Amino acid sequence: MILARTLIFGFPLLVAAVAGWSVRESRRSRTDRTDGVVVMLTQGVPVLNPFLPATEAEREIADLVHEPLIRLGSDGTLQPGLAEFWRWTQDVTCWFADEATAKRAQELLQAQIGEKNRWAEWHLSSVRVLENRLLLSFTEPNSAGVQQAFEVVAGLQIKPVVFWRIERGTPLRQAWDRFMKESPQARQIQRVWFDGANACEIVVAGESHQLLEDMHRFLDTGMNEPAAINPLAEVGALSEPVLDLDIRPGQHWHDGTPATADDAKATIEFLRSNDWPLPNREALSNIQTLEAQNNGSRLHVSFRRRQGTALCVFVNLPMLPAAWLRAHAAVQEADFTQHAPPGAGTHRIAARDTRSLLLAPVQQDKAQPRFLFNFSASPLMTQIGVRTHTVDLVWPAADRTHLEQLRFTPPRQRLVVLWNTRHEVLQHEHCREALALATDRDALIRTLPGRLGLVDASLFAPGLWFSTQAKSPPFQLEQARQILAEAGWPRDVTGIARSPEHSFRFTLLVPGGDALHTRTAELLVAQWRRLGAEVKIEQVPDAAALAQRLHEHRFEAVLLDQRFEVSWDQLPWWHSAQAKTGGSNFCGIADPQIDLALEALASEFDPDQVPKRVRELESRLLPLHPMLTLFTTHDEAAAMPTLHEQGATSGPVSAWTLQMLAGQPKRAPTAPVIKLQLRLPE
């Protein structure tokens, strides 16, 4: 009985004591850290891997600590980061029988300078001889002068350049390294690019017969089956786009050492050697060579393919010091938590333990705030912080009872429905259009839990400088029914639309285990039923099974999360060459004019020309209704009165970030402190 009374009356007193201690600690932290932003996070201790942030909060913390080569500005345009300048050029290499012939070709080209200066017309900047190679450098990656320059030296018997692909069933690297070291024929190989462990592609100048025989001799020894060596293409010269990024002078890591192109090179090589699911991973894997030039002030990168979007791989990609990467060759999570790499961002890690993280501004004279993050904040601690005004942000905002102002972070993905245009019903454009008009997105957002925002119908992420913000069709159920009826799909007495051949039936594939996906699918089925569509939901157990179904085109419609990336390349998703089994054009769109628009966009190197090409693509693709965009998902933070006037608050698409707060001095608190009152049970 005594123990029971102790528990009954002692527990509220204990809570009150904890609350009083929390208030004192919160006030003390505020006193000790003037001009600071205090953030309560419900998540546990973050790993803070800058390349794989687990949450939006981790992403924004990494954005304060680490600096990329190129940054995406708040207005959606490309801005300098560690690199103050970047430019595209083009290197073209051709091979001759000997060095004397290569020098003769150089003389013929130098003679073209003359009075008319054809070099300026061709955008040709230099011609160099390296043994039997002639290297031409053009100032524009899409220079039309390449062909004109080669017409001058065409009579000197240029060696053919052949691309070969080598594959076998077991790892290739060890046998390949031995071949390159021991075979006298290996000198004909000018470029090597490994595509995973069991395959590589090579570039060969000149006759390949003896080379192939020698490769088989080295690669097939001890193997049950010979390696597959197949030609990919034959050209007159090797053309490679080249990107130069000049490092901003005076940049330093937080430990005081200079930030150089050697650090950027080490970071990119580190990322290429692992299989982390990074944005624009394909462009990263297409890098041919990496060089630090001009005493570490320039990063020189050449690519295997002519892909203008390769620039995007460096956008918002954090850079790390080469010395830290060498010391942590096999990086584990413990390396990021126990030995955090120094960054070059606006803030540095000043203190860190299992309960909190303190970020201090690197440059004190810019009046930037400190950030104090408290982890694993309980509902009680959150309420205490809100009531006492000792907290500026509660993130995520789970309990809205005592919250002042909600802030939405930028969307990182959206939910879409992809249609399989090979299906007997969904192959009809009018059916897809009617489904779009019969979808009430506002009703979905009002009904579904979570932080959701309306999204436009553009193929690209909102807020980018080239995004068209194409309007999504408004909800018009009667017009949708009329479109179906006029297209030969009237509704019968049961309410199902029918054509002479088919009923309006299909299956919606849904990733299993996600409540938002499941509930969204149920609401969509109910909305489309009013149109006259009879839709069955099929759940897929895991991501691997879903990916297999998509690549094999064994679906009719699918509900997917689409991750936003800073890239204007849409060729993998809509080009007819990718519509075959195994390709990534899951919808099966096949249109020659769309293919041309996709190819032109992917090969565009000038960011200023991208918006025009995007409009051309979307004007052809969007009227086909290949997919249905639904809504974006967001994190939501609760801002206290001290932050009310800082940053945008106009809605989910207003990209509110910690970086925006870092650029503004924090206002002094004006609201009076409210005493926390805890009531004992009566």
Which structural domains are found in the chain, ordered by start? 70-84+240-334 (3.90.76.10), 97-156 (no CATH), 161-235 (3.30.70.270), 413-633 (3.10.105.10)
> pLDDT tens, 188-244?
999 998 888 899 999 999 888 899 999 999 999 888 889 999 999 999 899 999 999
DSSP helix/strand/coil, 471: coil
DSSP helix/strand/coil, 183: coil
Please state the separation of Cα 236 from the chain's center in Å. Answer: 35
Q: What is the pLDDT of residue 646?
A: 52
10-residue stretch averages of pLDDT, the chain, 682 residues long: 40 44 47 68 88 90 96 90 95 93 94 83 93 93 86 89 93 93 92 89 90 92 89 91 95 96 96 86 88 95 90 95 91 82 94 92 83 88 78 74 64 93 95 96 90 88 90 94 94 92 94 90 97 95 91 95 91 93 91 96 94 96 96 80 52 62 52 36 40
User: Rounded to whole angstroms, how far apart are CA atoms 77 and 188?
Assistant: 43
Q: What is the pLDDT of residue 406?
A: 67
Q: CA 444, 445, 451, 454 torsion: positive or negative? A: positive
Query: Hunting for tokens 């005592």 — which residue is that?
Result: 402
User: Rounded to whole angstroms, how far apart are CA atoms 363 and 214?
Assistant: 60
What is residue 144's DSSP assignment? T
Please state, in angstroms and as integers, the Cα–Cα distance from residue 347 to each residue in 59, 74, 251, 369, following that order: 14, 18, 14, 9
Pairing of strands 413-419, 557-563: antiparallel
Among residues 569, 570, 628, 634, which one has the least CA distance to residue 412? 634
> pLDDT tens, 610-627?
999 999 999 999 999 999
The encoded tokens of residue 644 equal 């009310």
* Edge-to-edge strand list for the sheet holding 370-374: 347-352, 356-361, 370-374, 36-41, 393-395, 636-639, 405-408
The encoded tokens of residue 139 equal 């100032």
H-run or E-run covering 658: helix 658-662
- The long-range contacts involving 617-621, CB below 8 angstroms and separated by at least 24 positions, are 617/459, 617/570, 618/458, 618/459, 618/468, 618/470, 620/591, 620/593, 620/594, 621/459, 621/574, 621/589, 621/594, 621/597
User: Rounded to whole angstroms, how far apart are CA atoms 189 and 214?
Assistant: 12
